[in-house]
């Protein structure tokens, strides 16, 4: 797939985008799934083809369909939304390959702790005015200060799955 993405500013279409999390609890037997209901962001494609941008999640918007668990996830044991209301991913570069894969490099910040994060996304739709990227990657929650693990019930990595649709901003 060969795609020429237009230069200029691009805005995240929050209504057509999702950011979901999945983590195995209860010693790996029970998957806990959730989504962030409030997402925002945008980016820029420069004339030389470089890409920069950001994705911002409202940490308090995490929804696992279990109010008690969601309240705990918002607490200081996990996202600590009172002190760190946003989770951000700053895109440093995104390189489109001929096969539709996009190598993304950036910095993920959770609870005020930033770590480099690289992953490969898939360009699932693209035209002059909109692009959609799908990606699945893992993060280690311990690297972001989320170390609560009563009785060893919550080991392992957290899987992040995204569908992000960006529309071209016309000035």
Per-residue confidence (pLDDT) for residue 42, from 0 to 100: 96
Per-residue confidence (pLDDT) for residue 154, from 0 to 100: 53
pLDDT beyond 90 at 162: yes
pLDDT beyond 70 at 149: no
Closest of 118, 119, 121, 112 to residue 143, by C-alpha: 112
CA 69/CA 57 separation, integer angstroms: 18
**Could you tell me if 19 and 38 are in contact, meaning their C-beta atoms sit under 8 angstroms apart?**
no
Whole-angstrom distance between the N-terminal and C-terminal Cα of the chain? 28
pTM for the model: 0.88
What's the mean pLDDT in 105-120? 96
Q: What's the CATH fold of domain 8-168?
A: Lipocalin (2.40.128)
């Amino acid at each position: 797939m060969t795609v020429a993405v237009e230069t200029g500013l691009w805005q995240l279409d929050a209504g057509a985008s999702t950011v979901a999390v999945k983590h195995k609890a209860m010693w790996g037997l029970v998957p806990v799934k959730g989504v962030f209901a409030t997402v925002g962001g945008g980016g820029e494609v420069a004339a030389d083809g470089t890409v920069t941008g950001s994705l911002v999640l409202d940490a308090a918007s995490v929804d696992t369909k279990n109010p008690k668990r969601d309240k705990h996830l918002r607490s200081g044991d996990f996202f600590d939304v009172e002190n760190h209301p946003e989770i951000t991913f700053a895109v440093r570069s995104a390189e489109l390959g001929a096969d539709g894969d996009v190598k993304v490099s950036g910095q993920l910040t959770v609870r005020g702790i930033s770590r480099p994060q690289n992953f490969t996304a898939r360009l699932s739709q693209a035209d002059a005015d909109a692009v959609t990227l799908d990606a699945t990657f893992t993060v280690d929650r311990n690297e972001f200060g989320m170390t609560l693990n009563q009785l060893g019930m919550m080991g392992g990595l957290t899987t992040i799955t995204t569908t992000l649709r960006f529309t071209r901003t016309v000035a």
